[in-house]
Amino acid sequence: MSIGTLRHRLTVEAPVEAADGAGGVARTFSPVGQIWGLIRPVGGTELRAEERLVQRLTHSIVIRPFAGLTAAHRLRKGARVFDIRAIREDTPSRLYATCHCEEIAP
């Protein structure tokens, strides 16, 4: 990959769980770092959920490995939020990793 290919600045967010006072858990996300990546759209679908159309957009995001990154984390680019579904190391030298993500529509 050439210099400049990873041109999208992404914020890595980790889940934070806190008791909600009713016996459950409230999950929020907190920024833990920033990385450069390449966002590639893969596909999209529309489906009916709760009496409205919902879009599901999938993306492949190439990054340099980030220590401790798991599918519980998510990536953010401005207002766009990407839930990580799977992470794959691309090469034997492990210079890059690909995150298979689903974009959360606002």
CATH at residue 43: 2.40.10.270
List C-alpha distances in Å: 54 to 57, 60, 75, 88, 105: 10, 20, 20, 27, 8
Does residue 39 form part of some domain? Answer: yes
Determine the average pLDDT of the residues in 29-50. Answer: 92
Residue ranges of E strands in the chain: 8-19, 25-49, 52-63, 74-77, 80-89, 97-104
Which residue range forms the structural domain that includes residue 46? Answer: 8-104
List C-alpha distances in Å: 106 to 6, 20, 78, 80, 81: 25, 23, 12, 8, 9
Looking at the 3D structure of the chain, how many domains does it have?
Answer: 1
Q: What is the pLDDT of residue 58?
A: 95
Q: What is the pLDDT of residue 106?
A: 64
Does residue 47 form part of some domain? Answer: yes
Does residue 2 form part of some domain? Answer: no
Determine the average pLDDT of the residues in 1-26. Answer: 89
Q: What is the model's pTM?
A: 0.86
